[in-house]
Amino acid sequence: QVQLQESGPGLVKPSQTLSLTCTVSGGSISSGGYYWSWIRQHPGKGLEWIGYIYYSGSTYYNPSLKSRVTISVDTSKNQFSLKLSSVTAADTAVYYCARERGGTGATLFVDIWGQGTMVTVSS
Amino acid sequence: QSVLTQPPSVSEAPRQRVTISCSGSSSNIGNNAVNWYQQLPGKAPKLLIYYDDLLPSGVSDRFSGSKSGTSASLAISGLQSEDEADYYCAAWDDSLNVRVFGGGTKLTVL
């Protein structure tokens, strides 16, 4: 079955760029029909959807984060990545990569989650 | 303040039935499908219900979802201690153009 695994630094300094990678195993990103997304959870809080990418490179971002977010895909490595620029302490959270299915846009839903990785923004 | 409103906590005894509500508006629940997730302590969320009332393969039929107007509900019957978790509803919001989540409900099995 498809599994997702996040990787990247657990500590990022304020004003720098947070970079995470999600490695997909058990299936190909290029097979189509799925969108690949990032979602975060602030400590002790609820979930915030960041955005998604299709294997073709088409993206959609949360408008509230759009100016700082870049999601990219590397089909040769079966990976997709998140970059969040100009981070502050408010970006401290557990970051999940996930798979979405069910059409496009409003009809999509997350069906598989990675285990999550904690990222702390601190000097 | 979450766009979708859930009670912070619910509790019920083992073997009983509990429902968790999720209240929204015409721009989200009223016009789009609702999905539910279970998050066990220290774990990633897991899909429980999609498209309002559909069960993914492998999910116990003790879980069920429903929707009416701008509100949705998750019901869990035959409560077990292993059901203790946080539960989140989610839907697309046409006004904000983003997927929104409820604030989560912590279920305690007494």
Task: Please spell the DSSP secondary structure of B77-100, one letter per residue.
Answer: -S--GGG-EEEEEEEEETTTTEEE
Q: Which residues of A touch B44 (CB under 8 A)?
A: 96, 113-116
In tens, the pLDDT along A65-100 reads 999 999 999 999 999 999 999 999 999 999 999 999
Report the pLDDT averaged over residues B4-18. 97
- Inform me whether the pLDDT recorded for B25 exceeds 90: yes
- Across the interface, whether the CB atoms of A105 and B92 are under 8 A apart is answered yes
Contact B88 A110 (CB under 8 A): no
User: Which is it for strands B98-101 and B85-93: parallel, antiparallel or unpaired?
Assistant: antiparallel
> For position A105, what pLDDT does the model report?
80
Number of other CB atoms surrounding residue B6 within 10 Å: 24
CA distance A76 to chain B (A): 27
Average pLDDT over residues B28-42: 96
Is the pLDDT confidence value at B59 over 90?
A: yes
Strand A11-12 to A117-121 pairing: parallel
Mean pLDDT computed over B82-97: 96
Residues of chain A scoring pLDDT < 50: none
Task: State residue A20's pLDDT score.
Answer: 98
Q: Write down the mean pLDDT value for chain B.
A: 96
Interchain contact B22–A (C-beta under 8 A) = no
Q: Which residues of B touch A107 (CB under 8 A)?
A: 32-33, 92
